[in-house]
Amino acid sequence: MAATTRLWCEHALLPGGPAERVSIDVADGRVVSVAAGVDPAVGAQRRNGVTMPGAANAHSHAFHRALRHRSQTGHGSFWTWREQMYDVAAALDPERYHRLARAVFGEMVLSGYTVVGEFNYVHHRPGGAPYADPNAMTEALTQAASDAGIRITLLDTVYLHGGLADDGYLALFGRQRRFGDASIEAWAERVAALAPDPRRLVGAAIHSVRAVDPAAITAVARWTAAAGAPLHAHVSEQPAENDQCLAAHGCTPVELLARSGALAANFTAVHATHLNDSDITLLGAAGASVCLCPTTERDLGDGVGPARRLTDAGAVLTIGSDSHAVIDPFEEARAIELDERLVGGQRGTFDTVELTATMTAGHRSLGWHDVGSIAVGQRADLVTVALDSTRTAGSQPGAVSEAVVFSAAAADVTHVMIDGVSVVENGRHDRVDVAAELAAAIREIVGHVSA
């Protein structure tokens, strides 16, 4: 048996609620004992502040990180931002993507994320020709996650069409061509060629009802059901998507997904910003997850989704950093409540128990069912947050959850353990010089875009 690592935590968020003076023993990557109200044992590693389960980033497009500072001038909308996104995507190759993603995943770890769901649709060469290894981009992302020490679910994305018109689907055009496989059968064949790899799980994603037709939605839903894999999709991010779906199919995107067999407990609707009552009922009845990405949704002007109504209907809320306008799970979680306050004029729509749950619920939606709480038998994903920073100073012992959700930021993360392995110590990633690698990778990609 592997040696036991013993942590002693000033505070910890346990399944029963916050606790003080908590001893946590870790062996073979898992929690083997938890005891509250104890003094530190000899040799225990002290964790001041509050230790909590690692957060799950249920929706990421790693390459969007290169846009963070480049898309903030002038007027526009989601659709004009998308043109800039296409430019960055066109500059990627497996080597560049590995370097960028390694740094982006490192930034996630520093912020307290311990798993990422990478919604990857950049599959082929510019122009659409496959690489010699048709899954070269997936392998680059897998290696990047391994380098950064984060657990990953690769959500291999089906992207077959260039848009949706009243009379049917449009062909992929220009810079979209590298996103698409020739058919749903070609997508399945490519994914089947992925070698088993203990460093990742593989799931599937439907890019959107604009890019995937109903027959293909049914096929990928059956694939995930047979594989026991997660299935994600962008859903109703923009009113224009709803209008196009209604004109072409006579229903909303959620209704189309339901008709096509996609809605189930393994399904995650990403964004779900512009829903009607029937959509909310369908998602809740399916026990589906809904991944809210508030920092991206506000950055792109998408709007505010009906978070409380989704939860009340039975859907499970998760969070994602999506375009990486911000990488900060605390900001994503509290934004769910703060956005509800702006829309409804009422405080306290979500309590801190519900909001901290959104930070860990993404593990399930990404196919990891043995992680997300500090309990015996769970994977040892442990994140420690300082309670003496300029943001959290003055926190009261009985309100550490409130301090974490409503005051803390990514910069307050001091220690991160993933699968029992220490990755961040005293606020520093032990494998990646994140700031330097981000700067170098983005400079290279932006230079290629400008060339």
3-class secondary structure, 117: strand
Beta bridge partners of 384: 51, 415
Return the CATH number at 379: 2.30.40.10
Q: Where are the beta strands (DSSP E) in 213-372?
A: 231-235, 267-271, 289-292, 316-319
HSE value, Cβ hemisphere, 13 Å, CA-based, for 203: 28
Predicted TM-score (pTM) of this structure: 0.96
Return the CATH number at 284: 3.20.20.140
Evaluate whether residue 27 is within a structural domain: yes
Evaluate whether residue 171 is within a structural domain: yes
Helix pair angle (214-227, 184-192), 10° resolution: 20
Is residue 112 domain-shared with residue 27, that is, in the same domain?
A: no
Catalytic residue list contains 271 = yes
Is residue 32 domain-shared with residue 181, that is, in the same domain?
A: no
Evaluate whether residue 250 is within a structural domain: yes
Is residue 258 domain-shared with residue 338, that is, in the same domain?
A: yes
* Per-residue tokens: 112: 């307290």
- Give the residue numbers spanning the domain of 186: 55-365
- Last-in-domain residue among 348, 365, 382: 365
Minimal CA–CA distance to 272: which of 246, 237, 244, 301? 237
Q: What is the domain count for the chain?
A: 2
Is residue 298 domain-shared with residue 224, that is, in the same domain?
A: yes
| Phi, psi dihedral angles at 221 (to 5 degrees) | -65, -40
Residues 336/358, Cβ–Cβ less than 8 Å: yes
Evaluate whether residue 183 is within a structural domain: yes
3-class secondary structure, 78: helix
In order along its 451 residues, the chain shows pLDDT tens digits of: 578 999 999 999 999 999 999 999 999 999 999 999 999 999 999 999 999 999 999 999 999 999 887 666 677 666 677 788 888 889 999 999 999 999 999 999 999 999 999 999 999 999 999 999 999 999 999 999 999 999 999 999 999 999 999 888 999 998 899 999 999 999 999 999 999 999 999 999 999 999 999 999 999 999 999 999 999 999 999 999 999 999 999 999 999 999 999 999 999 999 999 999 999 999 999 999 999 999 999 988 899 999 999 999 999 999 999 999 999 999 999 999 999 999 999 999 999 999 999 999 999 999 999 999 999 999 999 999 999 999 999 988 789 999 999 999 999 999 999 999 999 999 999 999 999 999 999 999 988 775 5
3-class secondary structure, 12: strand
Is residue 38 domain-shared with residue 95, that is, in the same domain?
A: no
Catalytic residue list contains 279 = no
Residues 370/27, Cβ–Cβ less than 8 Å: no
Evaluate whether residue 294 is within a structural domain: yes
Instruction: Say how many C-beta atoms besides its own lie within 10 A of residue 41's C-beta.
Output: 11
Is residue 329 domain-shared with residue 424, that is, in the same domain?
A: no
Check 64, 124, 271, 274 and give the catalytic one.
271
Measured distance CA(356)–CA(330) in Å, rounded: 9
Is residue 379 domain-shared with residue 267, that is, in the same domain?
A: no
Is residue 306 domain-shared with residue 193, that is, in the same domain?
A: yes
Check 147, 322, 381, 412 and give the catalytic one.
322
Is residue 397 domain-shared with residue 315, that is, in the same domain?
A: no
Evaluate whether residue 62 is within a structural domain: yes
Is residue 48 domain-shared with residue 75, that is, in the same domain?
A: no
Evaluate whether residue 325 is within a structural domain: yes
Is residue 15 domain-shared with residue 73, that is, in the same domain?
A: no
- Last-in-domain residue among 365, 384, 415: 365
Is residue 110 domain-shared with residue 126, that is, in the same domain?
A: yes
Evaluate whether residue 446 is within a structural domain: no
